[in-house]
Structure 1
Amino acid sequence: MPTPLKKILPILLIICCCFGYSQKIELNANYKINDSINKYLTKASQAIDQARLEQALSSIVHAKELALQNSDRFYIAKTNMVLAKLHQELGDINKAKEQILDAIEFQKEHEDKVELAYSLTIYGSILTELKEYTAAEETLKEALALTEKYERKDQEGTIKLDMGLLALAKNNPELAIKHFNSSLPIIDSFDQSYSKAKLYTNKANALLLLNKINEAIVTNDLAMQIGEEFDYAEIRSECYELYSRIYEKKEDYLSSLKSLRAHEKIKDSLFNTNKEIIVQEASAKLNLDESNVLIEELTEENIQQQKSLKLGRLTTILSIALITILSLLTLSLYKNNNLRARANELLQNKNTELLLAKENAERASEAKVQFLSTITHELRTPLYAVTGLTHLLLEESPTPNQKEHLNSLKFSGEYLLSLINNILDLNKLEANKVELESVSFNLKKRINDVLIALSKSAKDRNNQLHYNFDESIPSKLKGDPLKVSQILINLIGNSIKFTQNGDIWIRVNLINRIENKVFLSFEIEDSGVGISQKKQQSIFENFTQGSVQINRKFGGTGLGLSIVKNLLALMNSEIKLESELGKGSKFLFDLKFEIFEDNSTDYFEEAKKINYNAMANKRILVVEDNKINQLITRKILEKNKIICDVADNGDIAVQKVKDNTYDLILMDIHMPGISGIEATKQIREFNTEIPVIALTAVTLDNNLDEFYDNGFNDIIPKPYKTEEFFSKLHKALTKKQTT
C-alpha cells in the first residue's frame, strides 16, 4: 500500500467512528425521551382510572412537552389519545372527540394500525356517550378487526367491554351480558384490573335490569373487591349506587339508604377537585395555536435540510471508508466461519443429549403409567374385600345400631374408591381430563350419608354438626353425586379436624331456579382455629397446610382442599374462603344442577325386579387368584342358591370349562400365569356361547373396546355395588336362556 494512503486511512477511520458515535448518542437520547413519554402516559392512565385527575393532567403535560421538544408526531398522537380519555372523564366530550380524531388522522396517515385500534376504541366509547350508537358500533367493530388482524389480544377485551357498554346504553342487557362474558377471560388473562372492575359493575347493572337480583349482588361484590384493592374511587361509588338500587328492589330501604349515603360521600370527595378548573388548566397548558405548530414544522424542515447537507458532505468520506470496512468484513467473515463450524459441532452434541433426555423422559412416563395401573389394582383388590364383607354382614340381620355403622362403612368404601382414583389421577384432574358423571340422585340423602360417615370423628372432638337444607330444593337432581360427596367430605372433615369443642354448620340454599336448572349455594362454617390472611391464598395448593405446627398437631396430607378446588373448577365453580385466625372459617361455593328423573339404569331398582329363583342352581365359575376375594364372591353367590366353582388362575379356568358345563364365568384380569383376557380368548376358540363377565379391579378408562373385542360380554369393576352385580348376572343368564 502507498505511504500517503497508509497515513490517510487511520484519519478516515477516526472520522467514521466519530460520525457513528454521534449518531449513536442521538439515537440513545431519542430512546430515553420516548421511554420517559411512555412512563408519563402510563402514570396518566393509572391516575385517570383512580380519579386523580390533577395528577393525570400533570403527567400528560410532561409527556406532551417532551413529544413537542423531540418533534415526534407519533408520540404527540399517542399523548392526544390519553388526553382524550382525560377530557372524557372531565365531562368535556367535544374536546375529547377533537383530541382523539387528531390522533386517528395521524395514525391512519402513517398506517400505525396497532395504535389506531386503541384510538378507535376510545372514539367508540366517546360516540356511545354522545348517543351516536350506529357510528359507535361501526367504530368498535373496526377496532376489533384490527386487533384480531395484528393479534393484539390485550386490546380485544377492552373493545368487547365497550361493546357491552354500548348494548347497555341501547337498553339491551342480554346482549351486554354476552359481550361482558366474552371479554372477561381476556381481561383476566392480562390482569387489567380497572377494566375487570368496570365490567363487573356494568354486568351487575345489566343483571339488575333483568331482575336477577342475587346474581347482580354477587357480581357487584366482585367489582367492589377490586375497587377497594386498587383504590378505584369511581368504581366503589358506582358499586354503592348499584347496591342502593338493589336493596330498594328488595324493599330493604335502610340498607338502600346506607349504600346511597356511601355513594354520595365518595362522589363528594371526588368533586372536591373542581373539574372546571382542571379543564381550563388543560386548555391553557396543552392547546397550542396553529401558528406555533406551523413554526415548529418549519423549524423541523430547516433542521432536516441542514442534516441533508451534512450527510452530502460526508458521503465522499463514507465511500472511501466503505472500502476499509469491506476489508475488515472479509476478515470477520473468515473468523465467523471458523466459529460457526465449532458452534455446529457443539449444537450436534447438544442435540444428541436432548434426544437422550427425551428418551429417558418417555421411559419415566411409561413407568409412571405402569405404576399407576398396578397400584390402582392393588388398592382396589383389598377394597373389594371391605365392601364385599360389609354386604355380607348387612345380610346377616344386624341390629339397628350395627346396620347404621355398616351403612356408614359401605358409604365410606364408595368414597374411598373415589378418593383413590382422584389421588392417583391428580395430574389428570389438574389437566381437566377427568369426566363428570351425569346421573340422578337425592342431594339431601347424599349429604345425610356424608354426615353419618363423619359423625363419629365429630363426636370424638366434641363438635356439634348443624345441617340446614332448603326444602324448596327438588328431591331429584342430575349431576355427579360422588364428586359432590368428595367435596363435602373434604370440607366438613377439614372443619372437624381443626375444631375442638365447637360447632360446624352445613347450609344448602336455593339461589335461583330457571326452567329445569337450579342454582344452589353451599356453606361449611366452623368455629375452629381459623386461617391467617397470609395463608389464605396458598391453602388450596397441593400438599399445603397452614403451617408446620398445624401439620404436626392435626396431621393430613394437605391434598383435600386442592382436590376440592380442582373438582369445583371441573364443575364450573370456585371455592371462596372467609376466615380470621382464632375465630373460625367459612367455605362457600355455588353449583348448578338439572332437575332430572334419571332414565339410565338404576341397578338398585332393577335389583328389586330380579327373579332370584330363576338364578337358583345356575353353575358359575369364579376365576380369581385372591383367596379372600374368592371367599367373598362365593358367599354372595351361594346365599342366593347359585352353585359356585372356583379356579385359581387362567390355565385352570380354561381346563375346567373344557371338562365341565357352566352357565356363566366371572373372570378376573390380573392373575399368575395367563391373564384373564388371554384365558377368555382361549375359551372362545371352543365355546362361543357361554357368557363371560370381567370381574376386575383394572382401571377401565380407555380399555373397554379391548375387553369386548376379546370375547367378554360385560364388565363389573371391583369394588362393585351388589345391586349392580346381580343385575348384570341376571341380564347375562336370562339372555343365555332366550338364545
Structure 2
Amino acid sequence: MYSFQKTIFIFFLLFGLTTFAQEELTQKEIAVIQAEVEADLSFAKKNIEHYNYLQAKISLENAINKAKILNNKKSLGLIYYNLGKIHHLLEEPNLAIRTLTRAIQIQRITKDNTSVAETYKTLGDVLLKIKKPKEALEHYKSAQTFSSLENLQKLETETIIKKGEAYLALKDYKNAEITFKKAISLSKKLNLNNLLSISLIHLGDVQIKNGALKSAQKNIEEGIAIAKKNNATDNLNDGYLSLSNLQERDGNYKLANKNLKAHIKLTDSLLEAKNKLLLTEKFNESKITNQLNAQKQVNAELEQENEQDSETSTFNQLTIALITILSLLTLSLYKNNNIRLKSNLILQNKNSELIESKEKAELASRTKANFLSTVTHELRTPLYAVTGLTNMLLEEDPRPEQIPHLNSLKFSGDYLLTFINDILQINKIEAHKVEVEKEVFNLKKKIENVISALNNSANSNNVKIHFEFDKKLPHNYLSDQLKISQILINLIGNSIKFTKDGDIWVRVHKIEVTNGIYNIKIEVEDNGIGISKEKQAKMFDSFSQGSIQINRKYGGTGLGLSIVKGLIDILNGKIYFDSELGKGTTFFIEIPFEFAEETIEKEKINYFKDLNEDVLSKINILLVEDNKINQMITKKILNKLKLNCDIVENGEDAIEKVKVNTYGVVLMDIHMPGISGIEATKIIRKFNKDLPIYALTAVTIEDKMVEFDEAEFTDIISKPFKQEDFEKKLFDVIVFKENA
C-alpha cells in the first residue's frame, strides 16, 4: 500500500515539474532544439567522413524535423546538402539532384554563399558522373564564383579541376588545358599535393589529345609520383590509366598493357572496398531492425517474469501504467510545446488565427508579385527583340510595300508592352509602391498634348474632340504630370474606342480654392455606346469590360479604369461617372492641384551629335547578355553610335573580361545561366569600384531595387528600352568620364 502511495506521489511530483517546465522553459527549449540540430549535423558529417552513411542519414532526418520546428532555413540548407551528398556517394543520382537543388534554393534565400559553393560543386559532380558535362560545367562555374566570393581557396581549386574534367568530356581541349594549368598553379601556391597530383595527370590527358606526348609523359609521371608519396589511391589509379593511354598512343604496347593491368587491379580493389561499404550499410540497416526486434523480445520476457510474483507484479503493473501515462503525458506536452514554439516563432501574438490569415495574405501577395515579375521578364525579353528589330528595319529604308507590315508589327509590340506595363502598374498600386513625383507643369498644355496625340485614333473613328478650359483657372500647377497624363490618356482613349461617328467633350472647371490649392474638376463626355446599369458597379475592377462581346469587338484589357481609379486615389482625388446605354458616358474626376507661378522648360540635348569620333572610338563597352537576338540588337545600336562592343554570355566570363580589359561601361543583364548579373557585379565591385555598370533588365525594377543598391550598380536600364533613354544614360557616363 505504501509503495502504491509513494508511486502516486512521484507521479504527481513529476506531473507538477513537467507542467512548470512547460510554462517556464519555452525559450530554453528553443536553444536546446537548435543545439540538437547542430549536434545532429555534426554527427552526420563525421559519419559521412567515416563512410557510415546510414547513421548519417538517420541523424539528418532527425535534424530536418527539428529545423522545421524552428523554421531555421540555414540549417535546412545544410541538411539537404549533406543528404544530397549521401545520395551521390550511394550512387542515387536522381535523388541527389533533387535534394541538392532544393538545398541551393534555400541557401540562395539565406545568402549562405559558402554552402552554395559546396552544393553547386557537388551537383556538378553528380551531373558529370551521369555524363551531362555541359550542365555540370555551368554548376562548376557558379561554384567557382561563390568560392572566390568567400575566399574558399581549396574548394575553388577543387572546382577548377572539375571544370577541367567537364571541358575534357566536352572535347574542348583548349579550355581544358587552360583550366588544369590554373589548377596546378593554385595547388602549388596552397601546397595542396593531392589536387596538384590529379591536375598534372589530367593536364597530361589533354596533352595526349593534342599530340604533345613528351609534355604529357612528364606531367603524368610527376602526378603519379606525388600520388604515391601521399597515398592518393584514386589519383594513382587515374595516373596508371593515363600513362597506359599515352604509351598506347606512342606505340609502346607492352608498357601500355602493364600500366593498364595496374589500373584494372587498383580499380578492382577500389570497387571491392566500395561494395563492402555498401554491403556494410545494408548490414547496419538490418542490424538496427534486429536490435529493435530483440528489444521487443526482452520486453516480453520481462513481462512474463513479472507475472510470477503477485506482490511485485501488482507494483510493477502500477509502475508500468504510471510510466505509460507519464510517457503519453510527456509526449503530449512535447507536442504542445512544439505547437506553442511554432506559434511563438511564427505568430508572436495571442490572436494566432488573425496573424496566420494576415501572413497567408502577405505570402499570397509576395507570390503574386514574384509571379508577375517572372512572367513580365519572360515577356519583355522577346518584346525587346520585336520592338528593337522593327525599329531597326524601319530606319533602314524598307521597300514601300514593307512599311505597312512593319508599322503593324511595331503597333503589336507597343500594344503588348502597354499591356505588360498596365499589369505592373496595377500590381504596384495594390502593393502601395507608387510614389507621387511632383513638378511644375502647364495643365492646359498637358491636356492639349494628350488630345493631339489621340487625334489620329479619333479621326479613325470619325470622332471630333472638343476642349473647354475655364478662363478663370491659372495654367501652371505643381503635381505629378505623368500620372495626370496616364489618367487623361485612359479616359479619352476609352471614349474614342467606344464612340463611332460622334463627339467627345473635355471640360476643365474650378470647384474651389483653399490656401493656394485648386480643387479642379475634369469631365470627359462622349455620345458613344454607354454602359448598362448591371455593368456599372464593376467598372473600376481589374480586367473588367462591359461584356465578352464588347471586349472582342473593341479590344483592350479592362485594366485602364482600374489604373485610373488607383492613380486618382494616390493623388487624393475622386472619380465617378454617369452613363446610359446607347446614349454615352461622362466621367468626372476631382483632383487638388497646388498653384505654381511658372513652368520650367527642360533643356533638350542632342546626344552624341557633338562628340568627337576619336573620343567615341576609344570607348569600349562590355555587353553581358545570354540572348542571341538581344546581343545582335544592342550591338547594332552601339555600333551605330560609333561605340565598340564586346559580348559575353554569362557572369563568370564577364568577371574574367573585366579583370583583363579596360571598359568604359558594362551593360549587365540580370537573369543569366550560372550566377546572376547582381552576383557578378558584387564580385567585380571587390576589385573595381569605379567602373560604370548598368543593370540591363526586364524585371520589375521596384522589386529588385534593394538588391541593385547592394550590388552597387551605377544605374538601371529597363528592357525593352527607349533608344533615346538608352543613349542618354550612355552619353551621361561617357561625358562624365571624359571630363573627369
Task: State the TM bucket, normalised to the shorter chain.
Answer: 0.3 to 0.5
TM-score scaled to structure 2, two decimals? Answer: 0.45
TM-score scaled to structure 1, two decimals? Answer: 0.45
